A = this chain, B = another copy of it.
Amino acid sequence: MERRSFLTRTGAGAGVGAALLAAPAITHAQPAVRWRCTTGVPRALDTFFDTTTDAAQRISDATGGRFQMSVAPVGEIVPMPQAVEAVVGGVVEAAHVYAAWYTGLDPTWAFGTAIPFGMNTRLMNAWWYKGGGGAMFNDWLRPRGVQYILAGNTTMQMGGWFRREVRTLADVRGLRFRIAGIGGNIWHAAGAVPQMIPAADIFPALERGTIDAVEFTGPHDEEKLGFHRVARFYYYPSFWSGNGGLGFLVNLRAWEALPAEYRHIFTAAAHEANLMMVARQDSLNAAALRRLIAGGTQLRVFPMPLLRTFHDHATRIYTELNAANADFRRFYDHYTRFQREGAGWLRIGEDSFNNMMSELQRPRAAGAGEQRRPS
């Protein structure tokens, strides 16, 4: 008990508090700043939208309300496809977007979010912040007059909602699947027919059967969109989104006009968004998945032989992209080199723990003791 006694004292010693008074208050002028930020989602997609408004709140809090960023849902200022143009042209100071939405402009944009069979969330952060990936991406963006500050992650996305099971390549052929980007190219190569449908039109299209399947993000968002009411099979993993990084695309002229403290505070808010969106996703997705399964959703894992086929198509598509686009190739080489070493580490330093925990959840065979061998 003696060792604990000091913990029961509530009061603090004389040293603390004095720190604040030791130096005179310095009067310091900080300008009032108003920014506008467009996002790529409606308010209802709260894991994304609230991440944006939380960041704006943190910026306001840290500046005593002097730096205000107003947040507009998709379409209020510009539609999602025009968000890059709006930041480049200075219509808004910032946009909160998935870089991968803009692979139609240049596939190199994908490296700001994820590429198929690419990094998971841990690796993306390691590459982006400590492996040179983020600096490389912003060097690439600089001539466009913008930068991209990573600020959120959906984490691995689910494979999507399917009206019928996908067991072999025969089930893929002709499948009308709502999916975009390089992932869509891979499904197309395997015989599917990728569909681009605005988010608001997905549910009716899936309900009427004009599409067979849709991928979006994860359980919490998708439960809100009601996909489980019109498609029974919920597949995983999305080999095309091992993570789903999003970020603030910021106009560089507006950025450079900010006081240095505000730039640091904005960056800190983006980093917080990246940490907190993952925590929020995990908390909400866990609860949503439980409800979905209780409601009759059938979980399905894509069969490994099919995943190998998709992987073969991906390899060929990367060869083509690398041959056609020198920027893409430079990123691809850098990214995959980091991924190889990093994934090797995480298999040892992370997956081993998770797989052990998973194994411990399984019922033990009757009569098996310490020396039981894995069956």
A111 to chain B, nearest CB (A): 16
A105 at the interface (CB under 8 A from B): yes
| Min CB gap A56→B, angstroms | 13
Compute how far the CA of A371 lies from the CA of B63 in the bound complex, rounded to whole angstroms.
59
- Chain B: minimal CB distance from A184 (Å): 17
Chain B residues in 8 Å Cβ range of A257: 16-17, 19-20
Q: Which residues of B contact A355 (CB under 8 A)?
A: 351, 355
A23-B33, A61-B260, A282-B122 in contact; A349/B28 too (CB < 8 A)?
A: no
CA distance A127 to B127 in the complex (A): 25
| Complex contacts, A254 vs chain B, CB 8 Å | 12, 16-17, 19-20
Contact partners of A10 in chain B: CB under 8 A: 143-145
Q: How far is the CA of A304 from the CA of B355 in the complex (A)?
A: 11
Query: Which residues on the B side are within 8 Å of A120 (C-beta)?
Result: 350, 353-354, 357
Q: Say yes or no: B260 contacts A13, CB within 8 Å.
A: no
Bound Cα distance from A156 to B278, whole angstroms: 18
Q: Quick one: CB contact mask for A107-124 with B, threshold 8 Å, 1 for yes?
A: 000000000010011110
Tell whether, in the assembled complex, residue B23 and residue A34 are in contact, meaning their CB atoms are under 8 Å apart: yes
Q: Which of A175-183, A195-203, A208-216, A358-366 lies at the interface with chain B?
A: A358-366
Which residues of chain B are within 8 angstroms of A9 by Cβ–Cβ distance? 88-89, 144-145
Chain-B contact segment, one of A225-233, A306-314, A316-324: A306-314
Interface residue from B91, B130, B307 paired with A356 (Cβ < 8 Å): B307
Q: Is the CB of B372 within 8 A of A264?
A: no
For residue A269, which residue of chain B has the nearest CB?
B268
A129 and B260 contacting across the interface, CB-CB below 8 Å: no
Contact yes or no, B356 A237, CB < 8 A: yes
Give A253's nearest chain B residue, CB to CB: B12
Return 30 A-B CB contacts under 8 Å, by A number.
A7-B105, A12-B88, A12-B251, A12-B254, A13-B89, A13-B90, A15-B92, A16-B253, A17-B257, A19-B254, A20-B257, A23-B32, A27-B28, A61-B264, A62-B268, A64-B261, A120-B350, A122-B155, A122-B278, A128-B279, A239-B353, A268-B268, A268-B271, A272-B272, A286-B341, A286-B344, A289-B344, A305-B372, A351-B351, A351-B354
- Residues of A at the B interface (CB closer than 8 Å) are 3-4, 6-17, 19-20, 22-36, 58, 61-64, 66, 84-85, 88-93, 104-106, 117, 120-123, 125-131, 143-145, 155-156, 158, 168-169, 218-219, 236-239, 242, 251-254, 257-258, 260-261, 264-265, 268-269, 271-272, 274-276, 278-280, 282-287, 289-290, 299, 301, 304-309, 311, 341-361, 364, 369-374
Besides A61-B261, A350-B354, 20 new A-B residue pairs in contact (Cβ under 8 A), listed by A number: A10-B145, A16-B93, A20-B257, A27-B28, A62-B261, A121-B122, A126-B286, A130-B282, A156-B352, A158-B348, A236-B353, A237-B349, A268-B271, A271-B276, A286-B344, A290-B344, A305-B369, A307-B359, A308-B370, A343-B361
